[in-house]
């Protein structure tokens, strides 16, 4: 019985290593960039905009306004990711959301002021 248990553990470990190696071959890159927003709804919207096959991880921090993202650098660029965030109403350091999309955000999500970000 113990042999079957240890064999199962070994098989699971081998599959995990193979999955990691296959994933690593895709040129996974992790980076952080600023995405402006205010609240939990902003967090949800920003992270949802990056739920695409090329992105393996996306997490936005409300306090720091920093988005941490891991993605397949062979399939998509950092600029494209920032454009996706801007397309749903959230400015980044490089790209500004259109006024039309920004103005349609809920009131609590409106982060722009007369001051620069």
pLDDT digits (tens, 9 = 90+) for 23-81: 455 699 999 999 999 999 999 999 999 999 999 999 999 999 999 999 999 999 999 99
Local structure of 40: helix, strand or coil: helix
pLDDT of residue 8: 47
Query: Are 106 and 41 spatial neighbours (Cβ–Cβ below 8 Å)?
Result: yes
The domains of the chain, with CATH numbers, are 27-109 (3.30.70.100)
CA angle 12–22–33, rounded 5-degree value: 110
pLDDT of residue 31: 96
């Amino acid at each position: 019985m113990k042999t079957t248990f240890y064999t199962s553990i070994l098989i699971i470990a081998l599959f995990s290593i193979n999955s990691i190696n296959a994933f690593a071959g895709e040129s996974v890159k992790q980076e952080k960039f600023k995405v402006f927003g205010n609240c939990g709804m902003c967090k949800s919207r920003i992270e949802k905009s990056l739920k695409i096959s090329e992105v393996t991880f996306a997490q936005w921090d409300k306090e720091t306004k920093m988005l941490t993202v891991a993605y397949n650098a062979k399939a998509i660029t950092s600029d494209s990711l920032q454009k996706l965030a801007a397309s749903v109403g959230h400015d980044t350091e490089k790209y500004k959301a259109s006024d039309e999309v920004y103005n349609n955000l809920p009131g609590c999500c409106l982060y722009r002021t007369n001051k620069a970000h």
